[in-house]
Structure 1
Amino acid sequence: MSPYLYLLIAIVAEVIATSALKASDGFTRLAPSLVTVAGYGVSFWLLALTLRAIPVGVVYATWSGLGIVLIASVGWIVFGEKLDAWALLGMALIVAGVLVMNLLSKTAAH
């Protein structure tokens, strides 16, 4: 399986886990708490598999950057949290940085 597919699934698992963490209400609700633990476990396992083929800096920048954008989007859509123009600009810059690292940098695995 492609390391980038592992990375994509790791990012999705982390976003699910973080969403469940908010829903767990400080680990006082069992089901979201279990989803949180399982989601982070899957995410880190797949992240470890990704690191076999892609440099750690690229993996972490992609994982954390896209995770930030996705979880902020989930916060906005699911939890009704506000995103102002500055937040949107910041997220656009994060995506731009991830794209530069993955598409233009010679550091990334191709």
Structure 2
Amino acid sequence: MLIARLFLLLAIVAEVAGTSTMSFIGESNAWEGYLVMYVLIAISYYFLSIAAKKISIGVAYATWEGLGIALITVVSMVLFDADLNTQQLFGLGLAIVGIVCVTLGESHGEPQQKDERSHSSNARC
């Protein structure tokens, strides 16, 4: 499960980097910037798909999207001088609390094996 979380973290970092390059692309409009953005977002989806093999897709996607939004906001504030009001900061805080609650509520038990006899009896229909 730790490896899956590492892949999820890599997916989030790649998404934040790819999305953050959009502002740089807007300034230069160079095709290389678009290439970097698309590659980073593709890498993000790749790592998300690996993480989703061990983490339920709902939890993985909520974490990926929510923490991505929060980190992109921080990057925007630091690098691009974005200004957020109190309501926006409060909303981001609520989103982060929600993500933590969803992640902590995830079941970590092993999936139960189906009884082969009941499975084979259904196949005779």
TM-score under structure 2 normalisation?
Answer: 0.80
| Deviating more after overlay: 23-32 vs 8-17 | 23-32
Cα distance change, pair 36–30 in 1 and its aligned pair in 2 (3 A): same
Task: Give the aligned partner of residue 38 of structure 2.
Answer: 37
Secondary structure class of the residue paired with 1:25: helix
Mean Cα deviation higher: 48-57 or 21-30: 21-30
Per-residue deviation, 1:16: 0.2
Rounded Cα–Cα distance in structure 2 between residues aligned with 1:49 and 1:27: 33
Report what 1:68 is aligned to: 69
Q: Which residue of 2 aligns with 1:100?
A: 101
C-alpha distance in structure 1 between counterparts of 2:72 and 2:27, whole Å: 18
Letter in 1 for 2:19: T
Q: For structure 2, which runs of at least 5 residues remain unmatched after alignment?
A: 110-125
The corresponding residue for 2:22 is 21
Q: CA deviation at 1:22?
A: 1.9
Identity of aligned residues (%): 33
Unaligned runs of 5+ in 1: none
1:79 corresponds to which residue? 80
1:9-62 Cα shifts (integer Å, max 9, x gaps): 100000000011221118822332222011101100000101101111100110
Q: Which has the larger radius of gyration?
A: 2
User: What does residue 5 of structure 2 align with?
Assistant: 4
> Is 1:89 the counterpart of 2:90 in the alignment?
yes
Q: TM-score, normalised by structure 1?
A: 0.90
Task: State the distance in 1 between where 2:35 and 2:12 align.
Answer: 18
CA apart distance, 1:100: 0.3
